[in-house]
Structure 1
Amino acid sequence: MIKLTRRDALAGLLVAASTRTVSAVEEMPGITAQEIKIGETVPFSGPASAYGVLGRAHEAFFSMINDRGGVNGRKIKLLCLDDAYSPPKTVEQTRKLVEQDEVALIFGSLGTPTNLAIRKYLNTKGVPHILLAAGATNVTDPAQYPWTMPWQPNYFDEAFTYAKRILADKPGAKIALMHANDDSGRDYATGFKAGLGDKASLLVSEATYDTSEPTVTSQLAKLKSSEATAFFFHATPKFGAQIIRGIYELGWKPATFVAQTASSVAGVLEPAGYEAAQGIVSSAYLKDASDPQWANDQEMKDWRAWMSKYHPQGDVNDYLNVYAYAQAWCLVKILEQAGQDLTRKNIMASAASVNFRVPMLLPGITLETSKADYRLIKKVRLMKFEGKRWMLLPD
């Protein structure tokens, strides 16, 4: 018979406690003592492939974070898969990330229809589905979908702002509206019409397009024939460039307001031709890298240093690289705030208690969430395109 001393018993208890701690870490999908594994779907191909910039920028950003030691001692491993902006493909790739790759969370996935296609699945699984590149109002529903949280301002509020500005700047103007025939486009349209309020009769023409269409020439011809003198449109980058170029070539010169989704200088305005983009108005909540007012801004200097070292293939004039950088910083701060006990529940609780800012936000823009309100960004600034860059308009 082997007789255990008190010291032996105490040593055994310590080993057992240590084993339980390690096992708890190992049982948490995507989290080890050394690593945080996260998943993302973006359209590297298909009709919205211009947004593939986001995935590449996120990869470059987390390379920087890992070189700095990671988050609370854990390196971040990003698995970024192509969904071609196709909801069925998004479902397939997301299931792979969760069930085969065992990621801890889904971060930054792009698109309203694509994120809506996976929302119920991820909420049923209890997988954080956060900081999404989607702004449709119905993406934000913490009561019914507490595991899903977008990053950017919602489309309804943004479009509402444009309508109010048109009414203020051009009272009595005939107004035209164009948007994609999908959830995000309809959300923009609903917000815009709500902004018009009792002036809804000023909306004299409306057109939609499907992302599978090659061009929108016929829709633009219809809108021009309405003789509208103000025009708001929502589009993905490909169609945004077509629309801006199209109205220019038609000789139609309405006061044009453009959704943020089509405001990238490199992805939309440069392909459309700078001459065609003069005077258009959009909105922002992030600093514009082409704006000289930020030349000596430390956050801008840090962003440019990151671009130079970690993302040299990226275009410094592409707004999406600023977007991805700020978005990824937000995830890092959420993970830092969650501390060492990185369960999916604690990560989501941290995301629902944000009260901070991240680099590259415009002055006056902060991030704030609660269990009842998942809208991170609730304010935007209007801006006008002049020359080769956006200029902020007075509040």
Structure 2
Amino acid sequence: MQLSPAIGAPATRAPAPVLALVLVLASALVLAGTAGCGTRLPESAFGASSATAGATGTTGTTAAGGGNPASDTGVTPAEIRLGVVTSLTSPVGSEVFGGPRYGAQAFFQALNDRGGLHGRTVKLVTCDDGGSGIGNQDCVHRLVDQSHVFAFVSGSVLDYAGAPYVSGKAVPDVGGQPIGTAYDRWPHLYGIYGSSAPRDGHAVGWNGTLYQSTEVFRFFRERLGASSAAVVAYNQADSARYAAQLRAGLEAEGYRVLMQTVDFALPNFQAVAAAVRADGSQLLFDAMDTRGNAALCRSLDEAGVHVTAKVTNVQNWSEAVRTDYRASPACRDALWATSSSLGYEDVGHPAVAAFRAAMARYYPEREPLLSAWELEGWAGAQWLTDAMDSCGAQLTRACVERFMNRPEPYDAHGLLLPASFVPQPPPSGPTRACLNAARWQDSAQGGRGGWVTQVESMTTTCFDVPQLPYTP
């Protein structure tokens, strides 16, 4: 999937959302877009549930190693070795990509504390690829060839250059964040949002074409009555490309669109604020990094310009908003985020409560850094665990992949919109798409501020929307 958020979802996960992250920063810049974070599945999919009951899928535990064979690479009678690759020291900082790893680590620590899976404990072998393709290939080779991991889980990397090697070695990679197009190209790779692309190792998507859906734009049109939007981008190729996708999706939903471009090195956000005021734009989307977004919000607040919603995506659904936007409280109070997963504040849901309890126990220092990506890292670990649990004592990669490729959609015990990996023809005509949404409210949590979910249920907040083709 293109480095863009759910807009641009190549009918993946049937089709699935694409996360927005086009990084270039000096030549590696982070772009955070926001459209179409949802799932495209038939109504019947939303009655589906996980195959394994319980909060973490640990049925059938036995005494450590009792009767378990050394059934596959990375599997001994008493241990399962898994790999996690993260761009932890990337040029854009550790928190951009670090969240999923912490979520997965918390999941497996909790699992091991309860006795592991069928008597086996899980050993996570982590690797920081530094945000480079060469570093990623090095991590992949070290984990596959030296550590002999059974599978990868909950990866979040800037450049998945090692994907062909992982797939060529038939190592399952489950629950990774789809930054780039690897999870819509290679078999044996299973992104957190699913995929309905052929994934035959040849062209990305359908002969090089992916699809974006428009449910985010439809949601704001129907929920807030919005009919106009501004899109702000840098004068940089990837940023401009993603901004064009945003514009296409907005215009497909009948919005009047104001396009604004700023210089990457010396952005004039005061001019953008003036243009947004003159246009009367109701929504504000962007193809910029957090630094640019924070600066834009400051300019809007200083100019007294208010929009109905400044729309971001799941990557920015985090506690960091509290500090990143401290200098622009009015703009922060207009922030909305969309996703294909539950919010980490939804502790009334048992799976979210289990996640929060584990994070508080094992990583209490991350309380001010909680994010939707951490929860999705936990969900990826849950997915792989349920797949391994289905194998019983005879754990093999082939058995895990049978679970991953089954026709029944999977929802990580309610954490995710139902997702699957059954190949489908290219999308044609409107498709059912669903999403979750939250708004930052400074008045929430007793005035401390926080994200407040804005939909009754993400499985029923659904729309029949078009799928727009694009080339990544």
Same fold (TM over 0.5): yes
* Residue 298 of structure 1, CA deviation: 3.8
SS in 1 for 2:364: coil
Whether the 8 Å CA contact 2:232–2:243 is kept in 1: the answer is no
Q: 1:49 aligns with which of 94, 97, 114?
A: 94
Partners of 1:333 and 1:346 lie apart in 2 by 11
The structure-2 alpha-carbon separation of the partners of 1:289 and 1:110, relative to structure 1 and needing over 3 Å to count, comes to closer
Instruction: Choose which of 120, 134, 137 in structure 2 pairs with 1:91.
Output: 137
Give the whole-Å Cα distance in 2 for the aligned partners of 1:262 and 1:185. Answer: 20
The answer to whether the 8 Å contact 2:100/2:374 transfers is yes
Aligned 1:86-165 pairs, distance under 5 A: 86-111=132-157, 113-115=158-160, 117-134=161-178, 138-141=181-184, 144-152=185-193, 160-165=214-219
- Secondary structure of the 2:119 match is coil
Query: Which of the residues 241, 258, 265 maps onto 1:204?
Result: 258
Name the counterpart of 2:7. Answer: none
Cα distance 1:238–1:174, how it changes in 2: closer, same or farther (>3 A)?
Answer: closer
SS at match of 1:53: helix
Instruction: Please point out which of 388, 412, 420 is paired with 1:369.
Output: 420
Q: 1:30 maps to what in 2?
A: 74
1:62 to 108, 111, 118: 108
Q: Aligned equivalents of 1:312 and 1:124: distance in 2?
A: 39
| CA distance in 2: counterparts of 1:297 and 1:101, whole angstroms | 36
Structure 2 unpaired stretches of 5+ = 1-67, 196-209, 425-431, 443-448, 456-460, 462-472
Per the alignment, residue 376 of structure 2 pairs with 323
Tell me the distance in 2 between the aligned counterparts of 1:105 and 1:357: 20
Q: CA deviation at 1:37?
A: 1.0
338-347 vs 61-70, which moves further: 338-347
AA at the equivalent of 1:44: L
2:211 and 2:300 mapped to 1: Cα distance?
A: 26
1:314 correspondence with 2:366: yes
2:336: which partner in 1?
Answer: 281
SS of the counterpart of 1:315? Answer: helix
Q: Distance in 1 between matches of 2:315 and 2:194?
A: 11
C-alpha distance in structure 1 between counterparts of 2:93 and 2:292, whole Å: 9
Opposite residue 367 of structure 1, the aligned amino acid is: P
By how many angstroms is 1:97 displaced? 1.1
5+ long unaligned stretches in structure 1? 1-20
Change (3 A) 1:32 1:132: same
**3-state SS, counterpart of residue 114 of structure 1:** coil
Give the match for residue 22 of structure 2.
none
Q: Which amino acid aligns with 2:172?
A: P
Q: Give the C-alpha shift of residue 381 in structure 1.
A: 1.7
Deviation at 1:188, TM superposition (A): 7.7
The answer to whether the aligner puts 1:262 opposite 2:307 as a matched pair is no
Aligned CA distance change for structure 1 residues 171 and 300 (closer, same or farther; 3 Å) = closer
Aligned to 1:358: 412
Q: Which residue of the other structure, out of 389, 392, 401, is the alignment partner of 1:348?
A: 401
Shift of 1:301: 3.7
Change (3 A) 1:303 1:106: closer
Aligned to 2:228: 173
Higher RCO by CA contacts (8 Å cutoff, separation 6 or greater): 2
Equivalent pair of 1:234/1:262 in contact (CA under 8 Å): no
CA change 1:334–1:178 in 2 (3 A) is farther
Identify if the C-alpha distance between structure 1 residues 53 and 261 changes in structure 2 by more than 3 Å, giving closer, same or farther: closer
Q: Which residue of 1 aligns with 2:450?
A: 389
Asked if structure 1 preserves the Cα contact closer than 8 Å seen for 2:220 and 2:226, the reply is: yes
1:65 CA displacement: 0.8
The answer to whether the 8 Å contact 2:262/2:269 transfers is no
Q: Equivalents in 2 of 1:222, 1:389: separation in Å?
A: 30
Q: Which amino acid aligns with 2:86?
A: V
Aligned amino acid, residue 253 of structure 1: H
**More displaced 10-residue stretch of structure 1: 346-355 or 37-46:** 346-355
Q: Provide closer, same or farther for how the CA distance between residues 300 and 146 of structure 1 changes in structure 2, counting only shifts above 3 A.
A: closer
| RMSD across aligned positions (CA) | 3.6
Which structure's CA Rg is the greater one? 1
CA distance in 2 between counterparts of 1:38 and 1:355 reads 24
CA contact (8 A) 1:48 1:238 kept: no
| 2: CA distance, partners of 1:83 / 1:246 | 36
Query: Partners in 1 of 2:392 and 2:273 — Cα distance?
Result: 56
AA aligned opposite 1:333: D
Q: Distance in 1 between matches of 2:370 and 2:235?
A: 22
In the aligned structure 2, how far is the partner of 1:253 from the partner of 1:270? Answer: 20
Partner of 1:77: 123
Change beyond 3 A, Cα 1:205–1:347:
same
Query: CA 1:333–1:152 in structure 2 vs 1: closer, same or farther (change >3 Å)?
Result: same
Match of 2:333, as an amino acid?
A: Q
Aligned mates of 2:136, 2:234 — CA distance in 1: 23
1:231 matched to 2:303? The reply is no
Other structure's SS at 2:452 match: strand
Q: Which residue of 2 aligns with 1:218?
A: 267
